[in-house]
């Protein structure tokens, strides 16, 4: 039994409507359970009860055991003097508020609707990919759409929190933070960590000094990434010569080559190709974020990303290994990934910093016109009958899986609540 389950039972009144009796045998009527308090203080606020013929309006505190009241220090906290009812699963002692008044206590276990606890625990303790998987066909479409919209905003908030940390570390350098997010996005899931590490070992301020020289940009990026240690063709030899000079000039540190993953990846997604494309993008546009914040439409953004790796990479996927000719342009799917995971979260934060909602509105609107991501999680949801129409919905499903389903937060999920309330 978890306290979260008691919150659910109380909030949705899953208890008997027969006369309720407190531990002192006094009868009580619940006129209003109150609303859940997301902040510090009692669990439910603005509750309304009738006790001993009088109407009481105040807070309700919920615990598994009544002794938890003292364990949590509520008997010393004046913020709990307004509690009119203590709801518990098990009563093991009377409790008192800070001024010495005994708190009326209701043992909820005596009145819970039969079978409810078993249904909840059965849902939360199964080993399905999604706890409520069997019941999903019964979900009201309106409930689903409404909840997806809510957790989409949650997703954006969480991402903007991560961006805020990067911004703080960079001393509010927006271009540098976008460059870091850009590198992480270009690495996709497999190489996102080493790509982010590359961006931190090779700050954007260094690259910006060489933005007009593509060879120097490639030398810096491939050199710090650790790919120039054993050059054996003219291209890599020339890059390495350039890098050795720049390495000393800027005091650069090289990464370990084992950081990079190539196994079971499509050649177009090799980190070598991605780094070459990034170098070309920086060469073509320099301060990308400064150009992107005022975009008018999706096509305008896509045009900015219309870059391709240098000629060497037209017949290479890795150093020293020739391949069939293939122009290494930045693909549309990668551009969408960058917009979803780099530009949009940064625009949300930029909007807050500048106190200008137009940037936030632009970011959210963009998510509703971008294509949904293509990954194993989204495919699994599609097999269950839930197809994402746009990037906003696919982000919502990813958030649902990671922060609700995987953590078995069925009772905090509107979908879980809806299904359990129908039982």
Q: Which of 35-49, 284-298, 299-313 has the lowest mean pLDDT?
A: 284-298
114 or 325: which carries more pLDDT confidence? 325
Whether this model's pTM surpasses 0.95: no
Count the alpha carbons within 13 Å of 20 in the hemisphere toward its beta carbon.
Answer: 24
Joined tokens for residue 318: 């890795």
At residue 423, the pLDDT reads 61
Confidence of residue 422 (pLDDT cuts 50, 70, 90): confident
Tens digits of residue pLDDT in 99-156: 999 999 999 999 998 888 888 888 888 888 999 888 888 888 899 999 999 999 999 9
Highest mean pLDDT among 15-19, 196-200, 415-419: 196-200
Q: Are residues 203 and 173 in contact, defined by beta-carbon separation less than 8 angstroms?
A: no
Strand 35-36 relative to strand 20-21, pairing: unpaired
At residue 336, the pLDDT reads 93
SS3 of 13-81: the string is CCECCCCEECCCCCEEEEEECCEECCCCCCCEEEEEEEECCEEEEEEEEEEEECCHHHHCCHHHCHHHC
Joined tokens for residue 236: 């890599």
Tens digits of residue pLDDT in 54-94: 999 999 999 999 999 999 999 999 999 999 999 999 999 99
Query: Distance between CA 273 and CA 322 in Å, rounded?
Result: 13
- For helices 271-285 and 188-201, the axis angle rounded to 10 degrees is 50
Strand 35-36 relative to strand 321-322, pairing: unpaired
Query: Distance between CA 234 and CA 213 in Å, rounded?
Result: 18
Query: Distance between CA 21 and CA 400 in Å, rounded?
Result: 39
83: part of which helix (H) or strand (E)?
strand 83-90
Confidence of residue 339 (pLDDT cuts 50, 70, 90): very high
Confidence of residue 16 (pLDDT cuts 50, 70, 90): confident
Q: Count other Cβ atoms within 10 Å, centred on residue 211.
A: 17
- Write the burial class of residue 52 (CB in 10 Å: 0-12 exposed, 13-18 middle, 19+ buried): exposed
Question: Is the predicted pLDDT of residue 38 greater than 70, yes or no?
Answer: yes
Query: Distance between CA 36 and CA 417 in Å, rounded?
Result: 14
Buried b (16+ CB within 10 A) or exposed e, 249-286: eeebeebeeeebbeeeeeeebbbbbbbbbbbbbbbebe
Over range 411-420, report the average pLDDT.
Answer: 88
At residue 377, the pLDDT reads 94
Question: Is the predicted pLDDT of residue 369 greater than 70, yes or no?
Answer: yes
Kindly report the average pLDDT of the chain as a whole number. Answer: 93
Question: Is the predicted pLDDT of residue 1 greater than 80, yes or no?
Answer: no
Question: Is the predicted pLDDT of residue 216 greater than 70, yes or no?
Answer: yes
Highest mean pLDDT among 124-128, 171-175, 309-313, 411-415: 309-313
At residue 372, the pLDDT reads 94
- For helices 344-354 and 357-369, the axis angle rounded to 10 degrees is 160
Cβ-Cβ contacts under 8 Å for 369 (sequence gap 6 or more): 298, 390
119 or 262: which carries more pLDDT confidence? 262
């Amino acid at each position: 039994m978890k306290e979260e389950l008691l919150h659910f039972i109380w909030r949705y009144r899953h208890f008997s409507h027969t006369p309720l009796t407190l531990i002192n045998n006094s009868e009580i009527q619940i006129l209003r359970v109150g609303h859940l308090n997301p902040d510090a203080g009692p669990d439910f606020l603005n509750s309304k009860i009738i006790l001993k013929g009088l109407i009481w309006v105040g807070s309700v505190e919920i615990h598994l055991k009544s002794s938890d009241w003292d364990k949590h220090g509520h008997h010393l906290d004046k913020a709990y003097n307004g509690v009119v009812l203590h709801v518990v699963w098990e009563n093991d002692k009377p409790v008192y508020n800070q001024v010495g008044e005994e708190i009326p206590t209701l043992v909820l276990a005596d009145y819970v609707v039969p079978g409810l606890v078993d249904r909840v625990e059965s849902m939360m303790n199964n080993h399905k990919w999604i706890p409520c998987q069997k019941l999903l066909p019964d979900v009201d479409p309106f409930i689903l759409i409404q909840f997806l919209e809510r957790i989409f905003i949650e997703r954006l908030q969480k991402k903007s929190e991560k961006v805020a940390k990067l911004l703080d570390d960079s001393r509010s350098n927006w271009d540098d933070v976008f460059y870091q997010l850009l590198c992480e996005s270009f690495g996709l899931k497999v190489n996102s960590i080493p790509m982010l590490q590359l961006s931190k070992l090779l700050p954007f301020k260094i690259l910006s000094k060489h933005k007009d020289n593509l060879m120097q940009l490639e030398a810096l990026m491939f050199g710090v990434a650790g790919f120039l240690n054993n050059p054996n063709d003219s291209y890599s030899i020339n890059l390495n010569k350039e890098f050795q000079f720049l390495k000393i000039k800027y005091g650069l540190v090289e990464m370990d080559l084992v950081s990079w993953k190539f196994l079971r990846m499509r050649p177009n997604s090799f980190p070598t190709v991605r780094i070459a494309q990034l170098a070309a993008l920086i060469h073509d546009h320099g301060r990308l974020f400064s150009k992107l914040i005022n975009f008018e439409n999706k096509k305008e953004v896509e045009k900015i990303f219309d870059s391709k790796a240098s000629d060497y990479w037209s017949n290479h996927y890795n150093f020293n290994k020739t391949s069939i000719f293939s122009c290494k342009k930045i693909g549309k799917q990668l551009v969408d990934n960058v917009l979803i995971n780099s530009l949009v979260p940064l625009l949300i934060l930029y909007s807050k910093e500048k106190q200008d909602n137009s940037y936030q509105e632009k970011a959210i609107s963009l998510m509703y016109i971008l294509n949904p991501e293509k990954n194993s999680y989204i495919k699994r949801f599609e097999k269950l009958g839930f197809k994402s129409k746009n990037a906003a919905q696919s982000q919502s499903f990813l958030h649902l899986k990671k922060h609700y389903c995987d953590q078995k937060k069925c009772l905090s999920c509107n979908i879980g609540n809806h299904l359990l309330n129908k039982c």
